[in-house]
Amino acid sequence: MRAAVVFLLTSLGAVVCLAEESESTDSDSPPVENQSTVEEILENPLADDDYRDERSCLRRREIDSIEIIDESLVVFRGRIKKRVWVNRFSQPCVGLRRDMVVTTRARTGSICRLDAIDARPHAASPFEPAVRCYLGGFIAIDEVQVEAMKRAVDEHAKAGQRAAKANGR
């Protein structure tokens, strides 16, 4: 969102500067083409992705729980105001399952992009090797989106199972 605001302010500043220059120059000179006016900027809002709330880090004290969605996605639930963030791993985390217990590996008071999480089955020994996954950015979402992601992942898995049965596997 900051990038969108900076872009908008920069564009508005450029329009003001160009307007001042055009007043001070010769009136016989042809108008400069492809210049955005304030009205054009305001009439053409940025795409929804430009307003996405993405963070590089979350403070550990903000996090209440971590839920595994699939081998590529985890959800971090917040303590305050029930905030929710989705995190897509930098690469799929082979062997990660929804029923695993997640521990964080951050060395500071924050969990950040490129930090690792470890996941083990519930009954696993602490000496059993963990599945290690490396985090991406944290994108704020709501519970409706979380439930939609879970349904989509479940439907994708069911479709794969149906295809496997149809192929005689």
**In which residue are the tokens 């329009």 written?**
15
| Residue 135: other Cβ atoms inside 10 A | 24
Q: Which two tokens stand for residue 7?
A: 């872009």
Domain range list for the chain = 2-51, 54-166
In this predicted model, what pLDDT tens digit does every residue of 1-46 receive, in sequence order?
444 433 333 443 443 343 444 444 444 555 545 555 666 666 766 5
Q: What is the pLDDT of residue 96?
A: 95
pLDDT at position 39 is 67
pLDDT exceeds cutoff 80 at 49: no
Q: What is the pLDDT of residues 141-162, one digit of tens each?
A: 999 999 999 999 999 888 888 8
Tokens of 61: 């004290």
Amino acid at 146: V
pTM above threshold 0.75: no
| 93-134 pLDDT tens trace | 999 999 999 998 777 899 999 999 999 998 888 788 899 999
Helices (H), ranges, the chain: 2-24, 38-43, 143-166
| Pair type for strands 110-112 and 57-59 | antiparallel
